[in-house]
Amino acid sequence: MDDLVRLAGVSKRFGSNVALAPTELAFERGKTTVLIGPSGCGKSTVLRLIVGLLQPDSGTVSIDGETVGENNIAMLRRRMGYVIQEGGLFPHLTARDNVLLMARHLRQPETDNESRLAELAALTRFPVEGLSRYPGELSGGQRQRVSLMRALALSPQLLLLDEPLGALDPMVRAALQRDLKEIFERLGQTTILVTHDLAEAAFLGHKIVLMNDGRVVQEGGLSDLRERPANAFVTEFLNAQRGVAMR
């Protein structure tokens, strides 16, 4: 088993509230792992610990064998792409400038940047004429495509998506899910996706990690969860999203 990211005994609490109990987790290279669970189960916390927005109270996070710490996090972040629900696009920059921000910061040649931009636009099916628009001039779905382009701009080893489609209407959402699946497969991208939608998890994930109350409850495919539930919570969670569970 070839794991890109490992959490070893990682825990995090906010005051008296345990966001993540000591946890062992591994994320396989080239695969999409989905973290799923009810609100507040700790799935976003895992992502934020990996990208260094949070520091663990105990344990270590390692990426490609490197332990994440204060001195290497800035460099490691350049090997990761991070997309959040509302995109986190910078409103004062055009789509193009948002996507190329880091490449320019690292002084990569502008001609390379332009060809990379064209590649990304094609990959994410983003209309080229939209590149000179500001986020405020784009639809919600287009904004998420720009966020994805920005996350992919430096060809990251690891893509982290925190409910990237959460705020989109169902039609747009379905179209983006199809496109994401195609992109991940084409790139062989190691991806960690956080969602609360079981259908999305089943559609995109090679592996599903179900969490509750700061703990990992069960890992595996949808059929594992359905046929061999680890406990009553798994069944309850699946039943709550009946449409998928009954399929």
Could you say which of 135, 141, 205, 214 contacts another protein (CB under 8 A)? 135
Residue 103 CA to residue 105 CA, distance in Å, equals 5
Q: Which stretch binds another protein (CB under 8 A): 30-38, 78-86, 118-126, 186-194?
A: 78-86
User: With binding defined as CB under 8 A, does residue 143 bind another protein?
Assistant: no
Q: Residue 116 or residue 150: which is nearer to another protein going by CB?
A: 150
User: With binding defined as CB under 8 A, does residue 82 bind another protein?
Assistant: yes
Residue 45 CA to residue 17 CA, distance in Å, equals 13
Q: Residue 6 or residue 48: which is nearer to another protein going by CB?
A: 48
Residue 173 CA to residue 179 CA, distance in Å, equals 10
User: With binding defined as CB under 8 A, does residue 71 bind another protein?
Assistant: no
How many residues lie near another protein (CB under 8 A)?
28
How far does CA 51 lie from the centroid of its chain?
10
CB-based burial label for 120 (10 Å; 0-12, 13-18, 19+): buried
Look at residues 221, 220, 218 and name the one whose alpha carbon lies nearest to residue 236: 218
Q: Which stretch binds another protein (CB under 8 A): 21-29, 132-140, 180-188, 215-223?
A: 132-140
Q: How far apart are the first and last CA of the chain?
A: 30
Binding residues (CB under 8 A) for another protein: these are 51-53, 74-75, 77-78, 80, 82, 84-94, 101-102, 105, 134-137, 150
